[in-house]
């Protein structure tokens, strides 16, 4: 293992930490630049035993998923605001079991985070025996359709990102059965 690989165990995390540090400081002074570089180098090195092994991720799919999630958060905020503040609102809460195709623990945790981050839904538990995630929705007319939407909008891209497999529509349809 070369020195470069040893110090940059998680290069994307290093870059993200350095950029986050600079954004928090609101400064590009030499001191803050050096501090950001040091944080970006040292923190991943200290946490390397707790982080999964770095590997190549499908960045195109990750950027696409990021756009979808941001869009869904904005739309869901508006929808939830209308539902809660509407004069005749009658939400139909529901528990939605979503069968998982994902096997990567990081991808499953990210799916649960995405679901919880989107207003109106909360991922409540990951059932490892049934290999599904249980989601509570503030308003859901059709739980099966909501599960299919979660699989298509979030799980399929996560499969492409973490498991380097482009899931086919037939594979997604097969999971619903």
Look at residue 175 in the predicted model and tell me its pLDDT.
Answer: 46
| CA–CA dist 167, 163 (Å, integer) | 10
Look at residue 157 in the predicted model and tell me its pLDDT.
Answer: 94
Flag whether 52 is in a domain: no
Look at residue 177 in the predicted model and tell me its pLDDT.
Answer: 43
Judge contact between 146 and 137, C-beta under 8 A.
Answer: yes
Question: Cα Rg for the chain, rounded, in angstroms?
Answer: 20
Range of the domain at 29: 3-47
Judge contact between 18 and 39, C-beta under 8 A.
Answer: yes
What is the mean predicted confidence (pLDDT) over 107-112? 92
Residue 106 CB partners (closer than 8 Å, separation 6+)? 52, 162
Judge contact between 138 and 117, C-beta under 8 A.
Answer: no
pLDDT of 149 higher than 60? yes
Look at residue 55 in the predicted model and tell me its pLDDT.
Answer: 67
Q: How many CB atoms lie within 10 A of CB 118?
A: 22
| CA–CA dist 146, 120 (Å, integer) | 12
Residue 129 sits in the same domain as residue 96: yes
Flag whether 17 is in a domain: yes
Residue 84 sits in the same domain as residue 141: yes
Best CA proximity match to 55, nearest among 10, 14, 20: 10
Residue 24 sits in the same domain as residue 77: no
Look at residue 1 in the predicted model and tell me its pLDDT.
Answer: 46
Residue 79 sits in the same domain as residue 154: yes
User: pLDDT tens for residues 45-85?
Assistant: 888 777 766 666 777 888 899 999 999 999 999 999 988 88
Look at residue 145 in the predicted model and tell me its pLDDT.
Answer: 95
Residue 157 sits in the same domain as residue 78: yes
User: pLDDT tens for residues 155-168?
Assistant: 999 998 887 644 44
* pTM greater than 0.75 (yes/no): no
Residue 77 sits in the same domain as residue 150: yes
Flag whether 54 is in a domain: no
Instruction: Please tell me the total count of domains within the chain.
Output: 2
pLDDT of 7 higher than 80? no
Residue 80 sits in the same domain as residue 165: yes
Per cent of the chain over pLDDT 90 is 47
Q: Is 64 exposed, middle or buried (0-12, 13-18, 19+ CB in 10 A)?
A: middle
């Amino acid at each position: 293992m070369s020195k470069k690989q040893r110090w940059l165990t998680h290069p994307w995390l290093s870059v993200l930490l350095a950029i986050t540090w600079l954004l928090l400081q609101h400064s590009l002074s030499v001191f803050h630049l050096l501090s950001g570089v040091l944080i970006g180098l040292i923190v991943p090195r200290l946490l390397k035993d707790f982080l999964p092994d770095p590997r190549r991720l499908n960045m195109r799919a990750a950027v696409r998923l990021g756009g979808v999630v941001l869009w869904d958060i904005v739309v869901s905020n508006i929808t939830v605001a209308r539902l809660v503040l509407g004069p005749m609102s009658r939400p139909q809460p529901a528990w939605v079991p979503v069968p998982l195709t994902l096997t990567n623990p990081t991808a499953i945790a990210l799916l649960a985070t995405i679901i919880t981050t989107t207003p109106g839904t909360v991922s409540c538990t990951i059932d490892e025996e049934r290999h599904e995630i249980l989601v509570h929705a503030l308003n859901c007319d059709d739980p099966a359709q909501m599960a299919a939407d979660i699989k298509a909008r979030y799980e399929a891209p996560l499969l492409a990102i973490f498991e380097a497999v482009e899931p086919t529509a037939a594979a997604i349809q097969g999971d619903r059965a």
